[in-house]
Amino acid sequence: MFTCQWIIRIVGTLINKGKLMDMLRPMISLKVIFVLVILVSTVFSKEVA
């Protein structure tokens, strides 16, 4: 159900929000991005398999 455009769009939005979060709370932002990267990689591995 995941498409490349959908993932790119979400990643772009997260990056924009991440930049704002970096100014306020860098640690929390980094943790959120790290978790999202793991989730995305897991989704990709499941789709490819």
Tens-digit pLDDT profile for the chain (49 aa)?
567 788 778 778 877 776 766 666 666 667 888 998 999 888 888 877 6
| 40 within 8 A of 7, measured Cβ to Cβ | yes
- Which alpha helices (DSSP H) does 1-49 contain, by range? 4-24, 26-48
Range of the domain at 24: 9-48
User: Does residue 3 lie within any of the structural domains?
Assistant: no
Q: What is the pLDDT of residue 1?
A: 54
Distances (CA, A) of 12 to 28, 48, 49: 18, 23, 26
Q: What is the pLDDT of residue 47?
A: 75
User: Does residue 23 lie within any of the structural domains?
Assistant: yes
Q: What is the pLDDT of residue 25?
A: 66
Q: What is the pLDDT of residue 7?
A: 76
User: Does residue 44 lie within any of the structural domains?
Assistant: yes
Q: How many domains in the chain?
A: 1
Angle, vertex CA 14, rays to CA 46 and CA 33, nearest 5: 65
